[in-house]
Amino acid sequence: MYCPVCYQSTLKVRSNGVIKLAFNGKSRNNSLFTYNLQKETQEQQIAKLREKIIDFFSFYSEFKNKDPLKTFEAYSSDFLCTSGCKIDVINTKVSVVGIIFTTGEVQKLLQDEGKNFGIEIQVSFK
């Protein structure tokens, strides 16, 4: 991936950090979780993601007028440039879909849990 400072292909995900979720541009205070790529298996990471999706869908399913879910973001600022660039962690958010989670895994989770909670899913990943 390209570093937003030096524009070289030197941006790498840190081995541990925080992932934040946003649904249709909205998130809750508890729509985040930690990851550790060295100590957790892929299944454990997916289980954490599923838990947070279920938590949000449970909350959102109580709304009377629900919009279909059109956008989903899973992002982190826990990236580093191997060239040593200082990255603005406050304003930088990089999607972890396609890096930590495959698009297929995320799409399947959203579809499965959307059915369980009666939420229409219109999210598509490029």
Percent of the chain past pLDDT 70, that is, above it, reads 99
Helix (H) or strand (E) holding 52: helix 42-60
CA dihedral 95, 96, 102, 105 (to 10 degrees): -90
pTM tops 0.85, yes or no: yes
Task: Give 80-123 pLDDT, tens digit per residue.
Answer: 999 999 988 888 889 999 999 999 999 999 999 999 999 999 99
* Average pLDDT of span 39-49: 96
Q: How far apart are the first and last CA of the chain?
A: 16
Q: Measure Cα distances from 104 to 45, 67, 119, 120 in Å.
A: 15, 23, 19, 17
CA dihedral 53, 56, 57, 59 (to 10 degrees): 160
